[in-house]
Amino acid sequence: MSDFSLFRKKMQNANVSEAAIRSFENNYQALVRHESGMILEQDIEPCQCLLELSDITQAEKDFDPTLLAQTVVIKLNGGLGTSMGLQKAKSLLPVKGDTTFLDVIAQQVIHLREQTGAKVRFLLMDSFSTSDDTMEHMEAYAQEGLAGAENIELMQNQVPKIDASSFEPVTWDNNPSQEWCPPGHGDLYAALAGSGWLDKLLADGVKYAFVSNSDNLGAVLDSGLLSYFAESDKPFLMEATRRTEADKKGGHLAVRKSDNQMLLREVAQCAEADLADFQNIERHQYFNTNSLWVRLDVLKALLDAADGALPLPMIQNKKTVDPRDKKSTPVYQLEIAMGAAIEAFPGSGAICVPRSRFAPVKSTADLFALRSDAYEQTEDGRIALVAPRGGNPPVIELSDDYKMVDSLEGLGMPSLLKAEKLKISGKVRFADGVKIEGAVSFINESGETKWVAGGTYKDESIVM
């Protein structure tokens, strides 16, 4: 079995920072100890009775705008969207008309600066795969100071894949780049430290970080939440929301029985026997939105105390070195989740936010919903559910005919303003004037494209 020196040498040769190397070493040693990273249902209790965002509305009325000058907005922007047929940053997808995710994010920051007069700091955590396209696109915002890698980019690290039989760094001469993988968004902390950005922000008087995914356009810096976070003196705050059927596979909050510690459990940390409980949205009610508030000075102190590596639970993924070749060398890919740091910050907490702050895109079904009239762009730049929906997003199910983004172009767009669930199976195309109400499904097994005529469809299943 390998010692870690082979990994250290490989990472140093690739100019990976010491903070990232130490973080990966923690995970590697956990793997060597045969830790699975699993969190068993029998060891946890459901998280209950979180504070609601509506309970702290007074904080927004008493907002101190100088807090914004002490805050950085960080967007995680490392995803390519390959599952949807993309070969560039997912954030470059158009959301409303020609407006992309990145455009919406830039508009949010610009709006915040214009409304308050404070220069809110902004960083994009890019990966090696998204950096070039992202930086090129952001040149359009150079006059607003939202361009240039030296000004707005935080680079995600890369870590070696591990040969499953030898526990050594895998080699793959066919494509050496496939010897590496992203370490998960939990790399945020090592990336901040290793890049020098953490020290730079602290030196500039930046104390608070608001972090969220670039594909979640509902996550905009909220003055009430910032005030609450600052006044609470909590070092770490997770935004959670109530789970629906649409996100039952996402990570949920729980409380460990042994020490009453709040934690995050991802589906990759769930044993197969516990999967039904994991997806039980009545039992585990709170879903991690991956929007977090972090005290940077506390993060610095924790990293210094832990020799530069925040101790986060390891997530083990078994794959092949070439993901498209199932006969290629079996490997382990080790990841860490950003939200898992709720365990690492003493005194951390969570708050339940409305669904309007959570509108992510993980599939073409999510994108289809977001482009519909069920969502609107608000004055502060968010893409949020329209008010009449009461916070419940439409559940969209698309067959594999629509797995790739290009396939949506010929589908057409019905009104989903009153839709609860829309299922499309087979090749269909919506004419103008189609309205979906309640739960509706369209099933076409003919293999030929069928048109859906204009009109209202309510609580029915239509075989075409």
Q: What per-residue confidence (pLDDT) applies to 133? A: 93
Cα–Cα distance measured from residue 444 to residue 411, given in angstroms and rounded to the nearest whole number: 13
Q: What per-residue confidence (pLDDT) applies to 247? A: 77
Q: What per-residue confidence (pLDDT) applies to 76? A: 95
Is there a contact between 274 and 40 (Cβ–Cβ < 8 Å)? yes
DSSP string, 250-308: S-EEEEETTT--EEEE-GGGS-GGGHHHHT-TTTS-EEEEEEEEEEHHHHHHHHHHTTT
Q: What per-residue confidence (pLDDT) applies to 63? A: 67
Token pair for 12: 């140093």
Q: Mean pLDDT, consecutive 10-residue segments, the chain of 464 residues?
A: 87 94 93 87 90 73 78 91 76 87 91 85 93 94 92 95 95 94 92 95 96 90 90 94 82 89 88 91 91 97 90 90 92 92 92 85 88 85 75 87 88 93 94 94 92 94 90
Q: What per-residue confidence (pLDDT) applies to 308? A: 82
Q: Which domains does the chain have, with CATH numbers?
A: 5-357 (3.90.550.10), 364-463 (2.160.10.10)
User: Looking up tokens 């705008």, which residue turns up?
Assistant: 65
Global model pTM greater than 0.75: yes
Residues 6+ apart with CB under 8 A from 287: 240, 241, 242, 243, 247, 250, 251, 252, 253
Token pair for 159: 């870590």
Element (H, E) at 30: helix 18-32
Q: What per-residue confidence (pLDDT) applies to 94? A: 87
Q: What is the DSSP secondary structure assignment for residue 447, as one 8-state letter? A: S
Q: What angle do CA 74, 239, 217 make, to 5 degrees?
A: 55
Q: What per-residue confidence (pLDDT) applies to 62? A: 59
